[in-house]
Amino acid sequence: MRGQFTYSKKVLSHFRKPHNLGNIKNPSGLGEVGNLACGDVMKLYLKIEDDKIEEIKFETYGCAAAIATSSVITDLVKGKTIEEALKMTNKEVIDSLDGLPPIKIHCSLLSVDALGEAIYDYLVKNNREIPKELEERHRRITTLADHH
């Protein structure tokens, strides 16, 4: 299996020295997603103040790409508003890592889903209105989880 795909220097850098690794006690929002097919599990913790992501941490069990995408998404959304963070796409995650092997693209989707779930959790906990698109993403993620 070795040698079938290579990771960019940025992926390897985030894998070896992940940014914002760990958890947040009493997070404002927690997103947990997994892909049972590949065994990757991501937890994303948010501390939100005045609708801004003040702190973000992650715990990921998975391959180098899963850890790198978790790490880079924390860098990309820290300091952003909830609204800005919800616009994050997996293409932005991939681009900021200088690409991912096609077989690892799903890892970037997982990181965006974990972020969405953490924001969803925050909005529910605070009795805030949930944007329609986020509600649909949440439904898709929870439906997928139920089928595995």
Catalytic residue, chosen from 56, 107, 112, 115, is 107
The candidate with the shortest Cα–Cα distance to 69, out of 45, 87, 42, 49, is 42
Query: Contact, 77 vs 51, CB < 8 A?
Result: no
107 tagged catalytic: yes
38 tagged catalytic: yes
Per-residue burial over 112-130, b if 16 or more Cβ lie within 10 Å, else e, is bbbbbbbbbbbbeeeeeee
Helix, strand, or coil here: 148? coil
Catalytic residue, chosen from 12, 38, 41, 134, is 38
Residues with a catalytic annotation lie at: 38, 107
